[in-house]
Amino acid sequence: MIYITRRERFNAAHKLFRPEWTDEQNLEVFGKCSNPNWHGHNYELYVTVKGQINPETGFVIDLKELKTIIKTHVTDALDHKNINLDVNFMKDKMASTEVLAVAIFEQLKPLIDAQNAALHSIKLYETENNFVEYFG
């Protein structure tokens, strides 16, 4: 078993808030992340796939195909978008890094597992100081 990781990036806006709470409650729990007019990040996404090495190609998975899957099903939906408003797979969810990492994992899992390989993990950086990892 060997693990290969592809890094992709997307730039998006979001805020952390619960619509049923007052602005004061949102500010108390989410701090400056609750700014009503949004803020944003350069997200870095690491997608790790595991499998056996194909003896003919030396590959676990063709990185060109992996790149296309991530772009088509994840980063095109997120890049230069508002995570709370514009992204189908984040509808009615909290736009936290944790919830976003799980949603990306669920988007990619069936698509990558159909490639003779398996999705191992998602690692998602919100800033250079904070990141989340999810293994399913």
Binding stretches for a second copy (CB under 8 A)? 1-9, 11-14, 16, 18, 29-33, 35, 37-42, 48, 53, 56-60, 63-64, 79-82, 85-86, 93-99, 101-102, 127-135
CB of 130 to a second copy, least distance (A): 6
106 is catalytic: no
Among 136, 132, 124, which residue's Cα sits nearest to residue 12?
124
CA distance 52 to 36: 47
Among 51, 47, 45, which residue's Cα sits nearest to residue 121?
47
CB of 56 to a second copy, least distance (A): 7
41 is catalytic: no
CB of 108 to a second copy, least distance (A): 16
CA distance 74 to 92: 17
